[in-house]
Amino acid sequence: MKSALDHLYAVVLAGGEGNRFWPLSRRTAPKQFLRIAGRKTLLQQTLGRIAPPLPPGRVVIVTNRAYQHDVRWQLHDALRRPDDIHLLLEPSARNTAPALALAAVHLLCHDPEAMMLVLPSDHAISPVSALWATIRRALPLAAAGGLVTFGIVPTEPTSAYGYIKRGAAIKGRGYRIAQFIEKPPPAVARRLIRRGGSYWNSGLFLWRAATLLEELSRHAPGFVAPLAAMERARGTRGEAAAVERAFGRMPSLSIDYAVMERTSRAVVVPARFRWSDLGSLTALSELAPKDRAGNVVVGEVITLDTADSILYGGRRLLAAIGLRDMLVVDTPDALLVCPKDQAQQVKAIVGELKRRNSSHYHLSHAETRPWGSFAVLEEGPSFKVKRLVINPRSRLSLQMHRHRSEHWVVVSGRAHIRHGSRTYDLEANESAYIPRMTKHRLENRTGRPVEIIEVQSGPYVGEDDIVRFSDDYKRVKGEG
Amino acid sequence: MKSALDHLYAVVLAGGEGNRFWPLSRRTAPKQFLRIAGRKTLLQQTLGRIAPPLPPGRVVIVTNRAYQHDVRWQLHDALRRPDDIHLLLEPSARNTAPALALAAVHLLCHDPEAMMLVLPSDHAISPVSALWATIRRALPLAAAGGLVTFGIVPTEPTSAYGYIKRGAAIKGRGYRIAQFIEKPPPAVARRLIRRGGSYWNSGLFLWRAATLLEELSRHAPGFVAPLAAMERARGTRGEAAAVERAFGRMPSLSIDYAVMERTSRAVVVPARFRWSDLGSLTALSELAPKDRAGNVVVGEVITLDTADSILYGGRRLLAAIGLRDMLVVDTPDALLVCPKDQAQQVKAIVGELKRRNSSHYHLSHAETRPWGSFAVLEEGPSFKVKRLVINPRSRLSLQMHRHRSEHWVVVSGRAHIRHGSRTYDLEANESAYIPRMTKHRLENRTGRPVEIIEVQSGPYVGEDDIVRFSDDYKRVKGEG
């Protein structure tokens, strides 16, 4: 006999922009793709929590189309069977309800009994055993048609989270939901905590895919026509285009607003795990150890009379004197200084940078690419200096630049170069010059990383001056 | 008839280490050599204040031997007849009394009537007309054998300065000195200000060189033998070595402690100029304009709810949220964050860095050299990337490296290269490779700066791997 676990699929939400983690996160490098503490990114950590017991074939990642290469690279970096994981690409960012509707439609094609475990890709959860103990506890409720949300026992009267007030108990496993209270003021939050029986809304869910679509159609009528259109297109030649059109017509709503706050089937199961949504930079406290004075210290830092602060250094020395409850986050191209209790205001800075169309909004100075990573070391009006790291057995696209020439100096490893119609190897301390309008390709055929200093020179050195002829990662113009 | 001005010499003190301006200042780049605001360094600004009415031939700069090239370069950069200025090199850093004794001995050789106007090279003074009005007022007092110190009317009860309490008036030009009060606590400072007749001790002086030596011998007996030894050596073959030995035997005392606080000839002349000793980073407020919220903002800075702070950005974006009276100073390799009222504590950080023999103590990431400047962009175990700027009509030494090869890419201007026995020019977007153990020289023969990206590669890439064969600036191994 099959158990509920045999129909369980993990749906990982990885399309978020993570503005609240600026300057660590950027438009092209949102929070889930960052290595904030430790060797793994938050997305990789999330996948690590589900890999056992669920095999990769039972994992679906929903992400924005713009992030597909980042996700693929992260899977290849962390998993042994990365291609078994299915990627669902949102044509545009449209909040959680459309993303989950898309996932539900996809799963029902393959398994009418599919159950969805919904996991954001940028939260901190531990220990894994407690996560799975909670999920197992919730499974019968979801199998019976409940829309399960996991509730976190509040530890402080924060206004940063939504609260869930529980109602009647169900089978000793969870509770009906009496009320959702969206981000209450501290006084209300305090009262909720004092009275007991309230939980933080974690953003983790469990339900049958069929239940979700039923309730979505019932409570959010705007989804009815797009869902029907997806259904009609199934198996036809124009399915992909139809799904894309339908997705674009779905209302941009959160799943809480579209379904959970309206349905009578909502159920809360108290979590037995520790959880944080890492909703602001102050969450760095939860990701890194503290010194004796209560400071979180990352990188080369000297402190003097400094306590309870977050000092997240980059590659430079950070000297902190006389700080209390301050947040300092240093990156190669941008630096943030603010009191910890104002970390949420980072959103306003990001908004301003977006308005200015600033590179500090879009780009991270050290960017991962499918083939490795690069960092911009220096930029002038007619030149740019980069450090490139090419992963073992990876290569960049076969490409050409209209406006810039490139000088390469290999500083470690052995690079394989295609240069026009020639090919040759470059060892450390060897260099090459690729004139503009010359087809070229950089490749690492060895088992250890190749490090190259690239000096670009020309009247225009923007990332979008690139013509791709062939690419292992099927990228288009301007994706670097 | 000659006036007192005909015997006036400016003695500029430029040997200080300026630890309190870290991270802007470093051991190899003290405060007086920094461009903190505007195009000129503090030393160049100081020279600009005396150039008229005193010709360069009447200016003596006393500096540490280690700084001689920096001083020479700054003179060449700012003056039309830089070689007319005489440099007196301290064999070691020994406080102000030995430096001024050395200057007095030097001046008396040339002019027995010499009067010394003593100016620190790292203070802010304005306007120049008021400075000279005050000097002219003081000249008769100094000519009559007074040791004149210039007193600043206090504007706040700071403990950062020494105070001078005036005594009886002299000829309507100044006052006898009733008492020196070294850095009094705020309550005492407030009382001094309330009662009136007290001044800040500016560190600017005026006296006859002969008077200084008389009073130094009288009140600081440790100077008698070294001064006599210098006198005896005058005109002999061994003069330079004798002076060096004598200098090393002088007590390491401040001129205030050695003479001013003990002599009966001390006189204070109230200054008519505005003055700051730029004694800590909070003095940046006095060097740069403020925004509406009272913030000093330098570089690319975004502020949100931030007031009365100093936000001295470097080449990166600085985002400040919710700051009050804070100091943030950003440089390419080190960053300081502290409340303004704790800026003096920077000394403790510098002390710690010195103890660790840290590069952040010794080196500035962007260093000036006689021929131009360089900045380290990136450093790895076996490579280093630099941006070099070579000034018009300047050249580096003819040199060779034992352990590293160098790759050069010219990104602007035209460089003239000596490479082994060959010479050639490199234009923008051209490159050269200089293997280790190959003599080479980089030169700019044009009228505009040359900018080069240099990638050093080899098992050792320290600055001291340099063998010089010929140098316009007479430098030795390891001076970069």
CATH code, domain carrying B400: 2.60.120.10
Write out chain B residues lying below 8 Å of A383, CB-based.
409, 411-412, 453
CB contact under 8 A, A335 and B352: no
Of the candidates A328, A382, A431, which has its C-beta nearest B411's C-beta?
A: A382
Write out chain B residues lying below 8 Å of A384, CB-based.
none
Q: Quote the pLDDT of residue A370.
A: 76
Is A378 in the B-facing interface, judged by CB distances under 8 Å? yes
- Angle between helices B224-233 and B96-110 in degrees, nearest 10: 30
Residue B223 has pLDDT above 70, yes or no: yes
Give chain B's mean pLDDT: 92
Q: Quote the pLDDT of residue A476.
A: 56
Whether residue B286 sits in one domain with residue B262: no
Closest CA of chain A from B383, distance in Å: 6
Closest CA of chain B from A359, distance in Å: 10
Write out chain A residues lying below 8 Å of B407, CB-based.
407, 409, 431
Is B434 in the A-facing interface, judged by CB distances under 8 Å? no
Whether B429 maps to a domain, the answer reads yes
State which of A234, A257, A276 marks the end of a domain: A276
Is A302 in the B-facing interface, judged by CB distances under 8 Å? yes
Whether A480 maps to a domain, the answer reads no
In B66-95, the residues whose Cβ lies within 8 Å of chain A are: none
Q: How much of chain B exceeds pLDDT 90, in percent?
A: 73
Residue B480 has pLDDT above 50, yes or no: no
Cβ atoms of A231 and A210 within 8 Å: the answer is no
Whether residue B189 sits in one domain with residue B82: yes
Question: Is 0.95 topped by the overall pTM?
Answer: no
Is B406 in the A-facing interface, judged by CB distances under 8 Å? no
CB contact under 8 A, A349 and B302: yes
Rounded to 5°, angle at Cα A22 from A19 and A24: 125
Q: Quote the pLDDT of residue A290.
A: 92
Write out chain B residues lying below 8 Å of A336, CB-based.
319, 321
- What does the alpha-carbon distance between residue B71 and residue B47 come to, in Å, rounded to a whole number? 11
Is A321 in the B-facing interface, judged by CB distances under 8 Å? yes
CATH no. for residue B237? 3.90.550.10
Whether residue A230 sits in one domain with residue A245: yes
Question: In this predicted model, which residue has the larger pLDDT, B29 or B62?
Answer: B62
Number of domains in chain B: 3
Whether A226 maps to a domain, the answer reads yes
Whether residue A312 sits in one domain with residue A226: no
Whether A362 maps to a domain, the answer reads no
- Angle between helices A209-219 and A224-233 in degrees, nearest 10: 140
- What does the alpha-carbon distance between residue B180 and residue B165 come to, in Å, rounded to a whole number? 6
CB contact under 8 A, B457 and A409: yes
Q: What is the ipTM of this complex?
A: 0.84
Whether A354 maps to a domain, the answer reads no
CB contact under 8 A, A378 and B380: no
* Mutation target vs B (from A346, A457, A460; most B CBs, 10 A cutoff): A457
Whether residue B324 sits in one domain with residue B216: no
Is A334 in the B-facing interface, judged by CB distances under 8 Å? yes
Whether residue A234 sits in one domain with residue A93: yes
Give B1's pLDDT tier (boundaries 50, 70, 90): very low
**Tokens 């990383």 correspond to what residue?**
A449
Whether A323 maps to a domain, the answer reads yes
| CA nearest to A86, candidates A70, A68, A101, A66 | A68
Is A316 in the B-facing interface, judged by CB distances under 8 Å? yes
Residue B2 has pLDDT above 90, yes or no: no
CB contact under 8 A, A429 and B458: yes
- Mind listing the pLDDT tens digit for each residue in B272-301? 999 999 989 999 988 888 999 999 999 999
Q: Quote the pLDDT of residue B39.
A: 81
* Mutation target vs B (from A389, A409, A452; most B CBs, 10 A cutoff): A409
Beta B59-64 vs B86-90: how paired, if at all? parallel
Is A126 in the B-facing interface, judged by CB distances under 8 Å? no
Rounded to 5°, angle at Cα A223 from A217 and A226: 125
The dihedral through the CA atoms of B280, B286, B289, B292 has a sign that is positive
Write out chain B residues lying below 8 Å of A323, CB-based.
337-339
Whether residue A123 sits in one domain with residue A84: yes
Range of the domain at B90: 4-276
Burial of A336 from C-beta contacts in 10 A (0-12 / 13-18 / 19+):
buried
* Token code pair at residue B429: 């977007």
Whether residue A442 sits in one domain with residue A300: no
Whether residue B119 sits in one domain with residue B87: yes
Is B328 in the A-facing interface, judged by CB distances under 8 Å? yes
Q: Quote the pLDDT of residue B221.
A: 95
Whether residue A263 sits in one domain with residue A382: no
Write out chain B residues lying below 8 Å of A321, CB-based.
336-339, 342, 345-346, 348-349
Dump the DSSP string for A377-408: EEEETTEEEEEEEE-TTEEPPEEE-SS-EEEE
State which of B239, B259, B276 marks the end of a domain: B276
Whether residue B149 sits in one domain with residue B272: yes
Whether A142 maps to a domain, the answer reads yes
Of the candidates B319, B342, B428, which has its C-beta nearest A322's C-beta?
A: B342
Q: What's phi and psi for A122, nearest 5 deg?
A: -130, 30
Q: Quote the pLDDT of residue A39.
A: 81
* Mutation target vs A (from B335, B373, B431; most A CBs, 10 A cutoff): B335
Whether B357 maps to a domain, the answer reads no
pLDDT < 70: residue spans in chain A: 1-4, 474-480
State which of B229, B257, B276 marks the end of a domain: B276
Whether residue B194 sits in one domain with residue B262: yes
CB contact under 8 A, A338 and B330: no
Closest CA of chain A from B457, distance in Å: 6
Residue B80 has pLDDT above 90, yes or no: no
Sheet with B383-390, edge to edge strand ranges: B366-369, B372-380, B383-390, B450-457, B405-412, B431-434
CB contact under 8 A, B321 and A342: yes
Q: Quote the pLDDT of residue A480.
A: 45
Q: Quote the pLDDT of residue B398.
A: 94
Closest CA of chain A from B282, distance in Å: 14
Q: Quote the pLDDT of residue B83.
A: 86
Beta A326-330 vs A334-339: how paired, if at all? antiparallel
